[in-house]
Structure 1
Amino acid sequence: MTTFAQKQSPAVRTTPDGARRSPAQKPRRRPKERLAKVVIIVLLLTGAAFAAFPIIWMASSSFKPNTEIFAYPPQLITSNFSFDAYITILTDPAKVRFFINSYVVSLAVTALTLLVAILASYAFSRYEFKGKRPINMIIVSIQAVPPITLLIPFFGLMVVLGLYNTYQGLILTYLVFTLPYAIIMMTGYFNTLPKELDEAARMDGAGPLTVLWRILVPISIPGIVSVGVYTFMIAWNEYLFALTLTRTEDMRTVPIGIQLLMGQNSYEWNEMMAMSILGCIPVLILFLFFQRYFIGGMTAGAVKS
């Protein structure tokens, strides 16, 4: 029969060496385990510092006078701290135009890529049709083609179509490189969604497009956001085709604008660094704002087994 004292006292356990301890007492970590943890933390911090140093130096250089960039010994924190480089860029209409062009092209490419990729991926994932396999092979094969090999053909094509030095020319060119990846990724994501969702919606009278936009798309937000962020980064950072398919400065994008700061006789290093920092901000905002959507598992429990 259990006594009152036994009910009130916590259960006592014994360790392998015969010592008695209560459940609240956690086993002490061995010195080797603690040392291994410290070593791992030090290695991770070293790697993070190594990766972050170029960005820190770029940000520091953007606040320095141009004559102090290559001062010896180098100084990470300058005594002549100034926002002159940022003010010069943000008050120059020609340089602001670089950012406007990049935003227009990148947002348009991202929106069109997602629209076409969602529709195409839904067809590849849910339907069987003639030529499905060859089309899939072509889409995968496009990913293996080096973009530089298509530079001259695209240049000639845009000139013939009258799209040289236009937004439409850049957008259509970028779609060729962003759509295959987007279709492959979205098709794989749709394949992970149970087809019982489609069947349940059709039993309620929903059509194919209703099933896609009202059922599948909302629960595919993680995949859509991942593809969208990747597409935006490709269009935002692209240099080669933006240089080749545009002629006038009012059509140049941010990567070309940074290169134009490299003058014939002198380089505006502080302005180049400032424009690089401003060019990184959109991508950083995307990751900070949409990082919660990268977590999968939104379909867990959607269908009862």
Structure 2
Amino acid sequence: MTKASTSTPQNVKIRPAGEKRAREQRLQKIGVSIALVIGSLFAGFPVFWMLSSSFKANSEIFQFPPRIITENFSLDAYTTILGDPVKVRFFVNSYVVSLSVTALTLIVAIFAAYGFSRYEFRGKRALSMIIVTVQAVPPITLLIPFFGLMVTLKLYNTYQGLILTYMVFTLPYAIIMLTGYFNTLPKELDEAVKVDGAGALTALWRILVPIAIPGIVSVGIYTFMIAWNEYLFALTLTRTDDMRTVPIGIQLLMGQHSYEWNEMMAMSILGCIPVLILFLFFQRYFIGGLTAGSVKS
């Protein structure tokens, strides 16, 4: 009997498994890239439309058919806002409040996170639960109590009132994130400094804080964004235009009989710039800090 031929015909090609796998990976990458492009366009088009509308006349914004790019390019909306001392004051107030909240939140959160991460003390678990609980409370439920408290303390319509109120909502997140970040740093670093005769504060500020810069930056950016974009408490706890912030200033452009849409879009663009600058310059710290702070070693 003759043995069955097991040779492969010359006109039949067999693709190696590695080539097939590489082809599937390429197709997967192409699919992911297409999905990301579509998602970016979907998320970015409103921002582009806002930018385009800020260069239009107020009557042109609702023109039909709409024009994505105006033929009558104008900076009138920006010059009107930047030339009005009242509107400029909105930005000054937002910078003062947001930067103060960010700085104070980081200072308090660094000390608190260091204590939670490095020390065991009575009531530690209870304090941790309180911090998490405060973070979980919907801010709107505290609106009326905070209003009454600020009036009683004579902090209504002041920077101090807004700063202290915002810190109630920014501190829990900052403490939780920085505690998680400090937990990833070995305690041997502290012990090595203490062996040399230095104290706990020296170990914190000269060793741990420089190493924890990514986590601190990410928490700082998040805190700044919360304070910069907050609307409800800024509306409730301020009364005069010289204390209003940018989100309230945008709302005030809605008149009784007409809306200044181009000025609203221009102020929104100007309000986006600080956050965009922070994210562009500190993007690598922001992503790295969030990732490291979310993992407990």
Q: TM-score, normalized by length of structure 2? A: 0.89
Partner of 1:204: 196
Partner of 1:43: 35
Q: Distance in 2 between matches of 1:292 and 1:34?
A: 27
Partner of 1:139: 131
Q: Distance in 2 between matches of 1:136 and 1:116?
A: 15
Partner of 1:63: 55
Q: Contact 2:116–2:179 (CA<8 Å) still a contact in 1?
A: yes
Could you say what secondary structure the match of 2:282 adopts? Answer: helix
Map 1:34-183 → 2, pairs under 5 A: 34-183=26-175
Q: Distance in 2 between matches of 1:212 and 1:245?
A: 36
Q: 1:261 to 1:129 in 2, by over 3 A?
A: same
Q: Distance in 2 between matches of 1:182 and 1:100?
A: 25
Q: 1:204 to 1:98 in 2, by over 3 A?
A: same
1:40 Cα deviation after fit: 2.7
Q: Distance in 2 between matches of 1:34 and 1:111?
A: 46
1:275 Cα deviation after fit: 0.2
Letter of the 2:90 partner, please give it.
F
Q: Which consecutive residues of structure 2, in runs of 5 or more, have no partner in the other structure? A: 1-12, 293-297
Partner of 1:280: 272
Q: 1:37 to 1:289 in 2, by over 3 A?
A: closer
1:133 Cα deviation after fit: 1.0
Partner of 1:220: 212
1:34 Cα deviation after fit: 4.3
Q: Distance in 1 between matches of 2:269 and 2:287?
A: 28
Q: Distance in 1 between matches of 2:244 and 2:286?
A: 32
1:248 Cα deviation after fit: 0.2
Alpha-carbon RMSD: 2.0
Larger helix percent: 2
Q: Which consecutive residues of structure 1, in runs of 5 or more, have no partner in the other structure? A: 1-16, 20-25, 301-305
Q: Contact 2:221–2:286 (CA<8 Å) still a contact in 1?
A: no
Amino-acid identity (%): 78
Q: 1:18 to 1:149 in 2, by over 3 A?
A: closer
Partner of 2:177: 185
Partner of 1:6: none
Partner of 1:10: none
Q: 1:195 to 1:273 in 2, by over 3 A?
A: same
1:119 Cα deviation after fit: 0.3
Could you say what secondary structure the match of 1:294 adopts? Answer: helix
Q: 1:117-156, CA deviations, whole angstroms, 9 ceiling, x for partnerless residues? A: 0001101110111111111111111011111111001000
Q: Distance in 1 between matches of 2:72 and 2:37?
A: 30
Structure 1 window deviating more from structure 2 (37-46 vs 277-286): it is 37-46
Q: 1:79-126, CA deviations, whole angstroms, 9 ceiling, x for partnerless residues? A: 111000000000100000000000000000000000000001101110
Aligned match of 1:234 in 221, 226, 230? 226
1:191 Cα deviation after fit: 0.7
